[in-house]
Amino acid sequence: MAGKSKILIIGGTGYIGKFIVEASAKAGHPTFALVRESAVSDPVKGKLVENFKNLGVTLIHGDVDGHDNLVKAIKQVDVVISAIGSMQIADQTKIIAAIKEAGNVKRFFPSEFGMDVDHVNAVEPAKTAFAMKAQIRRAVEAAGIPYTYVPSNFFAAYFLPTLAQFGLSAPPRDKITILGDGNAKVVFNKEDDIATFTIKAVDDARTLNKTVLIKPPKNTCSFNELVALWEKKIGKTLEKTFVPEEKLLKDIQESPIPINIVLSINHSALVNGDMTNFEIDPSWGLEASELYPDVKYTTVEEYLDQFKSVCPRVNEASILVNLVDMLMALSPIKGNSILVLCRDWSNSSLRNTELPFQFSRINCTEIALLSVDYRKKHSGHPVSGRPSESSQRQQKQACKVTCLTLKTRCNGTKRAAGLQFLWLNFYDLTGDNEVSWNFTHQTGSEKTCQKSLVPSDEGTGRARPCRGTLERALTTRLGVSDHLTV
């Protein structure tokens, strides 16, 4: 029996690329990753590179712009998988040229991992983005390179944690906005499942020169069905607002980049139904879950289960950080990459522009909670300050945050910046009573001014337990239980 193909992944430190590298290595393929030298020193990508090494991945330093080095790397493998980002899709012509020169590649997987671009009817700017991917397909075919295309449809982590609601960090529990009539069928796939299906196709003769669409039946549903599933899980009916297609098209035209890109892709999938409004013809395509019934993929229903126990209003929890050179507003979910609106005053090109705000994508593992200390700030009643018979119990219930540090990057240099101001809002798990914490922290000084507030029963003034609320909220949303000090 022939050994498993040697695989080179280009873009392995990117969003979907890291899953593919890991899946390839764990499946026993000799795995190579083309990484820039700058990735090694990057605080986030450097950790990925170390993980690759631990998995036995061979690292090759370089990028798609170094033709000779790229050809040399390709000659070491049998299969090339491109996972480069959407802004570099056109650069895949350089990969095609290198593969052609190397002359040894048995299969090329260009960067797809989205909708099937040969079966979409999108408006701008998504239309141009899809057309670029289609042009890469035609270039691969014209070069006579053996290929497999893998349209994976929606990334689960991009949409399901918020049910595609802008500005939230958890699925809504009161109201929801639905594009169009909500009846178009869409597909959501967990990222590591996408990687697993992709690697499965590498040595499968059935997938040669075919499109392998990842459209598992249990992950295919309309948006209305998705909302109904979530309502069933939380035992509550959401207030629904439907956005007519005409309004959405107008919003696309009037919105800046990248919002218009996101909206136009959503229009294609959620209104047009471009993910599912065509049949897969065996002459050109196959469905991944039918090809590989042994793969136990995560269903949409299973994916949503992780959000059921989140605090009722924790989606509104936010951190406002005021630094010398940057203003950020974010609602973090540990491990997920999220859009952050930031104003970077250290960037002179932004100082004189009419719209100094820009969208940036950060990984929330950069947010480090150093210490949360549950102590008694006041000795008496939490509202009036009078002595209380339950002061001993309240001492354990009162909360204060002693130190938070945000690790950020400024001008390419990693640094830890003490927070000048922070505001946290969480809600009591048992009664929807708001709990707020304010604090200021003077960097470089032990002097810290803090204020603690314990929620009280409406009309009684009695303290409600909030220790569990804060602890569960933080560990659920940020995963920082190892940093909690009680």
Per-residue pLDDT tens over the stretch 237-257: 999 999 999 999 999 999 998
Give the span between the Cα atoms of 307 and 315, in whole angstroms: 10
What is the spatial distance between Cα 225 and Cα 220, in angstroms, rounded to a whole number?
Answer: 10
Q: Indicate whether 392 pLDDT > 90.
A: no
Paired residues of 213 in beta bridges: 287
**Please, which residues bridge with residue 186 across strands?**
221
Asked if 337 and 363 count as a contact pair (C-beta separation under 8 A), the reply is yes
Using pLDDT thresholds of 50, 70 and 90, give the confidence band for residue 219: very high
**CA-CA-CA-CA torsion sign (94, 95, 97, 98):** positive
Q: What is the pLDDT of residue 310?
A: 54
Tell me what the mean pLDDT of segment 256-263 comes to. Answer: 90
pTM value > 0.85: no
pLDDT at 220 over 70: yes
Split at pLDDT 50, 70, 90, the class of 139 is very high
Contact status, residue 181 vs residue 242, Cβ threshold 8 Å? yes
For the chain, domain boundaries: 314-485
Q: Which of the four pLDDT bands, split at 50, 70 and 90, describes residue 169?
A: confident
- What band does 278 get if pLDDT is binned at 50, 70 and 90? very high
pLDDT-derived band at 168, boundaries 50, 70, 90: confident
pLDDT digits (tens, 9 = 90+) for 314-360: 332 333 332 222 223 333 333 333 223 333 333 333 233 222 223 33
Q: Are the beta carbons of 337 and 361 closer than 8 angstroms?
A: yes
Annotated catalytic residue within 133, 190, 210, 215: 133
Mean pLDDT estimate for the chain = 72
Q: Which position has the higher pLDDT, 347 or 2?
A: 2
Q: Pseudo-torsion of CA 458, 463, 464, 467, nearest 10°?
A: 150
How many CB atoms lie under 10 A from the CB of residue 256? 11
For residue 443, pLDDT over 60 is answered with: no
pLDDT in tens, 87-138: 899 999 999 999 999 999 999 999 999 999 999 999 999 999 999 999 999 9
Q: Work out the average pLDDT over 228-234.
A: 96
Question: For the chain, first and last CA: distance in Å?
Answer: 58
Both tokens of 403, joined, read 């130190």
Q: Residue 157: what are its φ and ψ, rounded to 5°?
A: -70, -15
Q: Is 133 tagged catalytic?
A: yes
- Read off the pLDDT of residues 41-74 as tens digits, 9 standing for 90 and up: 888 899 999 999 999 999 999 999 999 999 999 9
Encode pLDDT of 367-381 as tens digits.
322 222 222 232 332
Rounded CA-CA distance 194/205 in Å is 19
More confident residue, 264 or 393: 264
